[in-house]
Amino acid sequence: MPSEPQVYKPDPKLSSSAYVSTIEQYHELYKQSIDTPEVFWGNIAKQFYWEQQCEPKNFFNYNFDISKGPISIKWMEGATTNICYNLLDRNVKNGHGDSIAYYWEGNHPDDSSRLTYRKLLQEVCRFANVLKAHGIKKGDRVAIYMPMTLELPIAMLACARIGAVHSIVFAGFSSDSLGERMTDCQAKVLITADGAWRGEKLLHLKKICDAAIEKADELGHKVECCIVVSHINRSTPGFENGADGFECPWTEDRDFWWHDEMEDSEPACYPEWMSAEDPLFMLYTSGSTGKPKGVLHTTAGYLLYAAATFKIVFDYKPNDVFWCTADIGWITGHTYVLYGPLANGATSVIFEGTPFYPDNDRYWSIVDKYKVTQFYTAPTALRSIMKFGDEPPKRHDLGTLKVLGSVGEPINPEAWLWYYRVIGKEKCSIVDTFFQTETGGHVITPLPGCTPMKPGSATYPFFGVKPMLLDEGGAEVHGEGEGYLVFAQPWPGMMRTVFNNHERFETTYFSKFPGYYCTGDGARRDADGCYWVTGRVDDMLNVSGHLMSTSEVESVLTEHKRVSEAAVVSRPHPLKGECLYCFITPNQNDKFDEKLVSELKVLVRERIGPFAQPDVIQHAPGLPKTRSGKIMRRVLRKIAVNDRDVGDTTTLADESIVEQLFANRPN
């Protein structure tokens, strides 16, 4: 096993004013949240508006044991509210109408705007009326396939205002993927944009949507109308001539321009009062069977959890400026770009572009421009930026930063330390957050004012979350140890079901270990009780009977000073069962050579053990990643065995990298 890392304590100045300022206070609040959740979450509920209160006896009811009946999770049953009202009307009434809700930063640095809470409320009401004019009512599903423009949160909140269920599909998925998801959720309306810029690349979103509507039609579902934001024809500095010849395909009587629909729409719309367990949104996540699951989140519990995790994990205070770089199309964007920040009256940054356009210091120029205080991004993005060295961030003033967040995968210690030292100047707390689409928000995470930080560890559970480790037979692993990560009781923000398929919900998450929610991830717990998420169980490697995770090996490989990124998969081996096949991206000015290969093999032997020594280390000028930065390991597994049937690669940011990797395979 890797040696235990150094422990880093929060900066005393940050601790002194934090919501949770000592580890003793954390343990006291945590005990209350587990033993009397109705008291803990009831206190948080008091800050929000409820059209109808729930009775104390109905605050929290659940069944995790399938042998005792259907799996059921209910919070605040009997209460009614409206999330949009709580995020917008409540904040305006509390005097925050002129406060900035969002700074919008476009693809080009000269393209920016801002939106106050009052203006956001008006725009949301206008678009809610547009949806109603198209026949959308409570319970209807609305599909959204959009770039990171301000119309995206407006569309989501308009759905929430009238009780429609939004289903966002990340605007990097193929037309087939979008069509299948619209069919599964029976979406009546699709909201999109004519196109979007990503760096110097023009994305023709409406063409993809037209093909997706055709796909849905083939599958037996008719999308009634498509509302289109005219984004390409707006001012796009630096691209005045870049869209020459761009035409948006159009179908009369089905397609409608956003600006035309909004022109005469009233800026007031009475909210639909929703029951606590009414659906708020659904978000598709990959399934092991290949058919995506429509993860369904509901109203009251999700509101409480998004609000609490945002406020406490990022220690957000009035006048702070928060920036989460995630696309809203993922759960991170739902909870920490939209619902969590607005529930707290926060000011946030929404960014349409990439970290490398027009230069590789774009993230840090935005932090400097808006005086960002909390910055939240993915380890993949950090590692991509790290290969350019320390100079790009040094061009900018990052002194306003207080809290740095990591999300999406376990962060390797090398990236953690760079983040801490170069970006945070050893003054910022790093919150290495673990959660899933299904959990709705952070479930294991440090708190910035009190938690001793260990590079690579998500540390302790958030309030209301009761993690356990189980072995293959379902027996609890006590103390130090490793096993399947499960949860023994629900928290308010967790999913309630798979849309139209509760049986799949029960089978996927509750059948392996009856009585527990199974995350599908492995984890280990150290002597201090800190959790180290080791990655998906299906990303585990079994070499000669030794079980290890891909992230464990990748963390060791990226410790080498010449390595920028690493990805590890397994390949069948006649003797070992499986062997390690490693893809290595060297730093920008470093070469990939036999000396590096030899040093990496020695490093893995020394840090993990001889059984873990890679059989193959291949040069990878880049890795196959989705536009959100997720490494597509199924493609790497195909390359490892020289199988060119790699399947759909349309969601990759750069499809050409696949052919390069096949060409680079060692003989």
The pLDDT of residue 514 is above 90: yes
Q: Measure Cα distances from 550 to 171, 386, 462, 564, 614 in Å.
A: 28, 21, 26, 16, 12
Q: Give residue 238's pLDDT.
A: 52
Q: Which residues contact 244 (CB under 8 A, 6 or more apart)?
A: none
Which tokens go with 256?
A: 């409608």
Is the dihedral angle over the CA atoms 369, 371, 376, 381 positive or is it negative? positive
Q: Measure Cα distances from 304 to 34, 83, 286, 557, 577 in Å.
A: 16, 10, 26, 40, 47
Let me know: does 195 contact 248? Beta carbons within 8 Å: yes
Q: Give residue 122's pLDDT.
A: 98
**Model confidence pLDDT, tens digit, residues 188-203:** 999 999 999 888 888 8
Residues 201, 352: Cα–Cα separation, whole Å:
13
Which of 76-85, 110-119, 173-182, 453-462 bottoms out in mean pLDDT, i.e. has the lowest? 173-182
What is the enclosing helix (H) or strand (E) of 182? Answer: helix 175-185
Instruction: Report strand pairing: 60-63 vs 72-75.
Output: antiparallel
What domain count does the chain have?
2
Domain, as residue range, for 114 = 82-354
324 strand-pairing partners: 376
Q: Would residue 241 count as lying in a domain?
A: yes
Which band of pLDDT confidence, cut at 50, 70 and 90, is reported for residue 34? Answer: very high
3-state secondary structure of 501: coil
The pLDDT of residue 241 is above 60: no
Q: Would residue 117 count as lying in a domain?
A: yes
Q: Would residue 224 count as lying in a domain?
A: yes
Taking all residues of the chain, what is their mean pLDDT, rounded to a whole number? 93
Q: Give residue 215's pLDDT.
A: 94
Helix axis angle, 205-218 to 175-185, nearest 10°: 50
Q: Give residue 287's pLDDT.
A: 55
Nearest to 146 by CA among 158, 156, 138: 156
CATH of the domain at 205: 3.40.50.12780
Q: Give residue 652's pLDDT.
A: 85
Residues 623, 409: Cα–Cα separation, whole Å:
16
Last residue of one domain, picked from the residues 307, 334, 354 = 354
Higher pLDDT, 540 or 555: 555
Q: Give residue 288's pLDDT.
A: 47
The pLDDT of residue 106 is above 60: yes
Q: Would residue 66 count as lying in a domain?
A: no
Q: Give residue 102's pLDDT.
A: 98
**Model confidence pLDDT, tens digit, residues 128-138:** 999 999 999 99
Q: Would residue 129 count as lying in a domain?
A: yes
The pLDDT of residue 537 is above 80: no
Average pLDDT over residues 173-178: 85
What is the 3-state composition of the chain as percent helix, strand, coil, each rounded to the nearest 5? 35, 25, 45
477 strand-pairing partners: none
Average pLDDT over residues 413-424: 95
Q: Would residue 226 count as lying in a domain?
A: yes
Task: Report the alpha-carbon angle 273-279-280, nearest 5.
Answer: 75
What is the 8-class DSSP label of residue 559? T
Which band of pLDDT confidence, cut at 50, 70 and 90, is reported for residue 233? Answer: confident
Q: Would residue 15 count as lying in a domain?
A: no
Let me know: does 623 contact 565? Beta carbons within 8 Å: yes
Q: Which residues contact 283 (CB under 8 A, 6 or more apart)?
A: 167, 168, 294, 295, 297, 330, 331, 334, 437
**Model confidence pLDDT, tens digit, residues 475-507:** 999 999 999 999 999 999 999 999 999 999 999
Which band of pLDDT confidence, cut at 50, 70 and 90, is reported for residue 2? Answer: very low
Q: Give residue 1's pLDDT.
A: 40
Last residue of one domain, picked from the residues 335, 354, 373 = 354
Let me know: does 541 contact 571? Beta carbons within 8 Å: no
Q: Give residue 412's pLDDT.
A: 85
CATH of the domain at 656: 3.30.300.30
Which band of pLDDT confidence, cut at 50, 70 and 90, is reported for residue 348? Answer: very high
Per-residue exposure over 294-307, b if at least 16 CB sit within 10 Å of its own CB, e if not: bbbbbbbbbbbbbb
Q: Would residue 605 count as lying in a domain?
A: yes
3-state secondary structure of 642: coil
The pLDDT of residue 404 is above 60: yes
Which band of pLDDT confidence, cut at 50, 70 and 90, is reported for residue 540? Answer: low
Last residue of one domain, picked from the residues 302, 332, 354 = 354
Which band of pLDDT confidence, cut at 50, 70 and 90, is reported for residue 545? Answer: low
Residues 286, 568: Cα–Cα separation, whole Å:
20
Q: Give residue 535's pLDDT.
A: 75
Let me know: does 117 contact 345? Beta carbons within 8 Å: yes
